[in-house]
Amino acid sequence: MIKIRDLEKIYRTEEVETVALNKISIDVKEGEFVAIMGPSGCGKSTLLNILGLLDDPDNGSFLFNNIEVAHFNERKRADLRKHNIGFVFQSFNLIDELTVFENVELPLIYTGVKSGDRKKRVEEVLDKMQIMHRRNHYPQQLSGGQQQRVAVARAVVNNPKLILADEPTGNLDSSNGNEVMTLLTDLNEQGTTIIMVTHSEHDARYSHRIIRMLDGQTVLENIMV
Amino acid sequence: MFKTYFKIAIRCLLKNKVFSAINILGLSIGIAVCFIISLFVQEELSYDRFNTRANDIYRIEFNANINGGKINESNVMPPVAQALQKDYPEVKEVTRLRTLGKPHIWINEKQFDGSSLVYVDSNFFNVFTIPLIQGNAKTALLHPHSLVISKELAQSFFGREDPIGKLIKFSKKNDIPPFTVTGVFDKIPSNSHFHFDIFGSMITDPDAVSDSWLTSSYYTYAVLQKGYNHKKLEAKLPGMVEKYMGPQIKQHMGLTLEQFRTKGNSIGFKLQPLTAIHLHGDSNTELEARGDIRYIYIFSAVAIFMLLIACINFINLSTAGAVKRAKEVGIRKVMGSRKQELVKQFLLESLLITVIALFIAAILVQLALPLFNELSGKTLVFGFQLKPLAALTLLGLLVSILAGMYPAFFLSSFKPIATLKGKFTTHNSTYNIRSGLIVFQFFIAICLITGTIVVYKQMQFIQNIKLGYNKDQLLVIDNSWALGNKERTFRDLLLNDPRVENVTVSGYRPAGPSFFNNALAYPEGRQNEFMNTLEYRIDERYIPTLGIQMAMGRNFSPSMPTDSLAMIINETAAKAFGFGNNAIGKKIFREHGDQGQHLGYTIIGVVKDFHFRSLHEAITPLLMVLQPETGLIIKVKTKDVQGLLASMKKQWQTFNTVDAFSWSFMDELYNKTYTAEQKTGRILNIFTILTILVACMGLFGLTTYTAEQRAKEIGIRKVLGASVTQVTSMLSKQFIKLVIIACIIAFPLSYWVMNQWLLDFAYRIHLNVWMFAGAGVIAILIALCTVSVQAIKAALANPVKAIRSE
């Protein structure tokens, strides 16, 4: 599903040049659950941003379902993203001015799903995430665990082929964290590819494969048994 | 999609109540002011355009320059119309109008006063679009003693009866034949340069067929061939002067046109386009008070600036509050939103704010229009009709695009990664743009404050200037001519009243409506040095009654029979005739009577210059002769003026039971001369206050944002020992710096603009540094007060809370 080769990302300021990704090459198959680990500043978030088409690489190739997307313009990236990729963030990133229902509905609006279908699909996914009773609440009225469940619901509502999770349990206690990891595992079992950046060895154990990074390069891959 | 955008917009508005209120209220005021001014400007620009032939109609005006004295009159000689029609084929039609004031009117022995009468040529309604609702416009004024009256007047005179064929008398006795009503017109539009109630047939006026090219009282309008360049005809008009006027000048003044012109004198006609009369006219004998194109420019600029200031608030507050929206933008982008979708969303938000502002603006316009009408003397209306509503909607749309475009592109261009990681910071360039916009807002505010100060100072100067006569306690009897030969008896009675200091018989008043008598005069032995002067026909009591000072010589004395050929002149005349300090005993000759005789007057006195015209004009040579006509000016010496007026009225009624006793105070007449400036001053005051208010609202909002964004910094500074004063000054400094920059930019421009305005006054104040410094200090103080409120609040906040919240 994902094939990146010799991917480079360099951040430049007037005086300093920082290599975030240094000719990195990774393959992710459809249906895989991959965890990316490494110390802060090793480039894992940069990698996730590029995989999520939120950022451009400077060099190298990025094939998404055999299509070269490395140098897509913003419009093409937005189109590919909204149909294929779901995101889960450490800090949930829900829109404060929208209710739970409206937050989850948002990706469907951008993919042009009709109002009746949207309602049905949002309710289905909220039900699945056991958050239906909070549908009319605003994010500030929910606990961290609940907010992350809403974020997961929003990530999956469009049935994306790929979910990118950036430290999804980073702001949660262990009980809520485990719940979110179980949700992600369930989704993966239903066929969704998941790539997760994490600092937590515990969370990484939910994945099929752990890619360890250092200084913008992969240094080790562990296959989980 | 729009539903979500709309929901977000509403919730954001409610969440940020203060900023929403600032934006909405600022825009409402901006739109309301802009709309009111647009109504005013539209009305001013539309003058006389209702006439279907407006673009082809030109008024013939008379211009002359005689020994430096300028004559610019919009009424010309009776035969001009005929000459134009006869000699110039490009002139399709000519029509004339002669004013006759407001005569007494009798209908079946019942008296009606207060309606204005003019004589017009029979084709008048063919030239001007004043449709008749009764009668035939083509024939109504063909015969002598025919009248066309307004619908309103017809109702007041005849009630429900048919007015056609009814008789109207202008004299109680039967010395003038009655006039027959032959037509009724509906109403002359408010945007016409003349408004009259009664149009009489010109053929009634025997003077209308006079062939004199030396007397002028006919407003003459020519219709040129469609699209004909009037400048071409204007170039031919000197031929008319040569052909018709030259011989009469030679006959009456003994000078050929060539001799006349060798001294730099000029005489001629010009064509004033009908549609330019109201705003660009410059004649001294206008039918109604004119507008002024400069005020149109000033007010239009104020309207645009006001709107810009409100839009700037919107832009500044939106970009300053970007941090609050950054996360949302990031999430939307991650969810697949395209940039143009976000642009649409933010434009929709600005549209929503504008729509709310529009509703409030519409209410404000309704509430403020009567006040504006009172100040401007207009009768503007804002009805819920399609045109003004469409204009208002268009204005709203323009505002929402103007105000929303930059924030929309700015907000939608955020990089999602940075915003979601909370690493979002606004760029320096955004800060610079915001600072630039604040400078611009205060630049406008300071220009307006300076303008207000200068206008106020000039008005104060006008009030306090030594006029050379004492306008206080002077009572003018407007219609003492109505007493006929009892006028002098009435005067004598007043002179015996202990409450009266003096009474003069004269219709020549230095302020308000006055008799007006131009006289060509020359010093003895120097006939070629004739000069256009103003002549006052007065009695011996005029100078003391008005408190005019003698510079040399003496006043008139009825006991000296030679004074009938004596003259008192003003200092300017003495100088202009080259007499210097030796004027007494010199002779001045002037034309006398219609036959062109020249009579010499011996100068017996020189009065100190006094202002007998508006301060817009310089003092010109004035000649005074002992030849009282009619009119009464009374110097009173009592505090009980009302008591005096009551007894005068009683006295008046014993002499005249027909005409009402009518009076004015000279100081009020004087003030009326400057009504236009006073009105402009008052309107400017209001706009200045509103501009400052809106600019300050924006500044208040920005300070609030700044205080919020710097909460952690302020907290740390306080923990490290910063005092409230230090924190307040730190926050205030950055804004005050901008206001000072605005001052530096505003001063030269406002100096130039106000200097131009003052140039229109022959007597004016001098601009000094304190006026500008004062404006600067006012702006800085206002800005400081605005900023301090939020700055102090931020400085007093608990630092622990701020640090923890981060």
* CB B735 within 8 Å of CB B702: yes
Pairing of strands B550-553, B597-607: antiparallel
* CB B145 within 8 Å of CB B178: yes
What does the mean pLDDT of chain B come to? 87
* CB B143 within 8 Å of CB B179: no
The predicted structure's pLDDT at residue B301? 87
* Cβ partners under 8 Å of residue A12, min gap 6: A18
Q: Which two tokens stand for residue B611?
A: 């202002």
Mutation target to probe the B interface, by most B beta carbons within 10 A, among A53, A106, A147 is A106
Sign of CA dihedral B492, B493, B499, B504: negative
- Rounded-to-integer distance, Cα B601 and Cα B592, Å: 11
* CB B801 within 8 Å of CB B729: no
Question: What are the angstrom distances between the C-alpha of B438 and each of B87, B475, B514?
Answer: 63, 53, 51
What does the mean pLDDT of chain A come to? 89
* CB A198 within 8 Å of CB A213: no
Closest among B335, B115, B568, B74 to A80, alpha carbons compared: B335
pLDDT > 70? residue B202: yes
The predicted structure's pLDDT at residue B719? 67
pLDDT > 70? residue B423: no
DSSP B241-275: IIIIIHHHHHHHHS--HHHHHHTT-EEEEEEEEGG
Whether residues A106 and B4 touch (CB distance < 8 A) is answered with yes
Whether residues B334 and A106 touch (CB distance < 8 A) is answered with no
Q: B655 burial class (0-12, 13-18, 19+ CB within 10 angstroms)?
A: middle
pLDDT > 60? residue B805: no
Sign of CA dihedral B145, B151, B153, B156: positive
Whether residues A93 and B334 touch (CB distance < 8 A) is answered with yes
- Rounded-to-integer distance, Cα B188 and Cα A5, Å: 85
Whether residues A110 and B341 touch (CB distance < 8 A) is answered with yes
- Report the interhelical angle of B724-758 vs B428-464 (nearest 10°): 50
Most confident region among B150-154, B371-375, B482-486 by mean pLDDT: B150-154
Reported as a single tens digit per residue, the pLDDT across B735-750 is 889 999 999 999 999 9
Q: What is the number of other CB atoms lying within 10 angstroms of the CB of residue B199?
A: 28
Helix (H) or strand (E) holding B651: helix B641-655
The predicted structure's pLDDT at residue A225? 62
pLDDT > 60? residue B70: yes
Q: CA torsion, points B140, B145, B150, B151, in degrees to nearest 10?
A: -70
Residues from chain B contacting residue A109 (CB–CB below 8 Å): 1, 4
- Per-residue confidence band for B593, with pLDDT thresholds at 50, 70 and 90: low
- In chain A, residues 16-35 whose CB comes closer than 8 Å to chain B: none
- In chain A, residues 137-166 whose CB comes closer than 8 Å to chain B: 154
Residues from chain A contacting residue B417 (CB–CB below 8 Å): 49, 54-55
The predicted structure's pLDDT at residue B68? 64
Q: Taking residues B792-804, what's their average pLDDT?
A: 72
- A36: phi > 0 → left, psi -120 to 50 → alpha, else beta; which? beta
* Cβ partners under 8 Å of residue B506, min gap 6: B515, B536, B537, B538, B539, B542, B628, B629, B631, B632, B633
B133: Cα within 13 Å, side-chain hemisphere: 12
For residue B419, the SS3 value is helix
DSSP B269-283: EEEEEGGGHHHH---
DSSP B273-324: EGGGHHHH---SS-SS----HHHHHHHHHHHHHHHHHHHHHHHHHHHHTHHH
Whether residues B328 and A95 touch (CB distance < 8 A) is answered with yes
The predicted complex's ipTM stands at 0.71
Residues of B with CB under 8 A from a CB of A: 1, 4, 7-8, 11-12, 15, 327-328, 330-339, 341, 416-417, 420, 422
A87 vs B: CB within 8 A: yes
The predicted structure's pLDDT at residue B384? 64
User: Is the full-model pTM beyond 0.80?
Assistant: no
For residue B240, the SS3 value is helix
Question: What single DSSP character describes residue B480?
Answer: G
- Per-residue confidence band for B331, with pLDDT thresholds at 50, 70 and 90: confident
Whether residues B336 and A95 touch (CB distance < 8 A) is answered with no
pLDDT > 50? residue B806: no
Residues from chain B contacting residue A167 (CB–CB below 8 Å): none
